[in-house]
Amino acid sequence: MIGRLRKSAAARNFGWLVADRGVRLMVGVVVTGWVARYLGKQNYGLLNYSMALVAIFAALTPLGMDSLTVREIIKDPRRGGRWIGTIMGFRSMAATVAAVLAFGLVFGLRHRDPLAWMLVATLSVGILFQSLESGELWFQAHTQMRRLVVPRLALFLCMNVLKIIAVRRGAGVVWFSVLTAAEQVVSGGITWIIVRRSLGPSNSLSFDASYGWKVLRSSWPLAVSALSIVLYMKLSQLVLSGLMGDASLGVYAAAIRIPEAATFLPTVLATSILPSLVKSRSEGAQAYHAALRRFFRINALLALSICIPVSLGAPWIIRLLFGPTYSEAAPVLSVYVWSLLFVFLGVARSQHLLNELLTHLPMWFSGFGLLVNLAACLVLIPRYGAMGAAVATVVSQCISAFLSSFIHPKTRGVGREQWLAMITPWRIQSAAALAGSI
């Protein structure tokens, strides 16, 4: 009975998260296409350059603590307020450092471009308020993300309406960075208010540095891994802008908009299934292995259901969303979208490594992928431009999220499961098994 209720709660949680991200994907892509047409390749490229640079440092703020904190809350929910308050405190300190580093880097790289400084400074304000979103870990642990989905989605829709108004009023590129940062600020405030009400007076938010250091000792490899992943996802944009100019980056940014928006799916799936995986492991090796195999195949099947139609329909998608000005983005999209297959499998693998407490391995795998990405970008971008950046991303993702599994003895079995998931993704046993996994 308890198991059925747990699966039902996870399924509902997954459904709410998918609905939220699905709406964000559809609305966000349409509005982004409108904004891209309005700004033109040069300004759209500059805006994406600033967002990529800030995203690199924003990747530092979670400190790799998310999944481990969820595990601790699942084990002892009575101390949830102390865990959440502590993580918020640690993230606030990391966010402050990240904002300073982001502005320092843009000032060093583009010291004669005050517009770039303004964009990065504005977007960095959003980083400072992301620490308040740590409250969502409480709802992840209890598979109750619905309580955050509705207000956050309403905020997202309001901000997109404001972006449309900005386009109609002829606003400058800085206003679009202001709206992006404002959404993060308000979202952080909403999360903080809702989690305080949910915890109640007997489990209030509090800060305990010893709790934070306890998690950080185990999570720092995950933090380095997350930074490496964001680096080789965003580094190609910085290199492309530096070598080929902001207009070329504008074309590339249009091509990767849909694949990047779709990366929410493996994260949402992992968020909903993590509590079940943690508990299935205690039920025995056979039950855990069966659940993990289904998990890999679900991820592969979802990825292929996106990669194949988007790759084939790239010319029509780009023409519809961004117009003929961005026609060069179509072949780039048809290649770049295949990085999603390895992103999905990499996220699935990370859940297994977390359960096995092998948190140091993702750090080495993603670090290796980062080196491959940097080398590939420097070789391919000067010759092939935006297409070179796309190829570099797909190759580095393949190496980091899949081929690296065969390097270490403890992950070779996972590598075989990833391979089987790619070549036989439909073998999930049945629709009932799929629903049961979620």
Domain range list for the chain: 2-437
For residue 69, the model assigns a pLDDT of 75
Residue predicted with more confidence, 40 or 274: 40
Structure tokens at 132: 């308040």
Look at residues 74, 56, 29 and name the one whose alpha carbon lies nearest to residue 236. 56
Q: Calculate Rg over the CA atoms of the chain.
A: 21
**Residue 223 amino acid letter:** A
pLDDT in tens, 119-176: 999 999 888 888 888 777 777 766 667 778 888 889 999 999 999 999 999 989 999 9
374 contact partners, CB below 8 Å, separation of at least 6 = 232, 235, 239
pLDDT in tens, 44-84: 999 999 998 888 888 777 766 776 777 777 777 777 777 78
Q: Residue range 208-228: average pLDDT?
A: 73
**Residue 189 amino acid letter:** G
Output the DSSP codes for 351-374. HHHHHTT-THHHHHHHHHHHHHHH
89 has pLDDT over 70? yes
Sign of CA dihedral 419, 420, 423, 427: negative
Q: Residue range 106-124: average pLDDT?
A: 89
218-235 burial, b at 16+ Cβ within 10 Å, e below that, comes to bbbbbbbbbbbbbbbbbb
Angle subtended by helix axes 173-199 and 114-130, to nearest 10 = 10
Structure tokens at 332: 């780039």
pLDDT in tens, 236-278: 888 888 888 889 999 999 999 888 888 877 877 776 666 666 6
Is 228 in contact with 368 (CB distance < 8 Å)? no
Residue predicted with more confidence, 360 or 158: 158
Look at residues 5, 27, 17 and name the one whose alpha carbon lies nearest to residue 147. 17
Q: Torsion angle of alpha carbons 402, 404, 405, 409, nearest 10°?
A: 170
Alpha helices in 59-135 (DSSP H): 66-75, 80-109, 114-130
For residue 278, the model assigns a pLDDT of 63
Percent of the chain with pLDDT over 70: 85
First to last CA, the chain: 16
Instruction: Return the residue matching tokens 């403890």.
Output: 410
**Residue 398 amino acid letter:** C
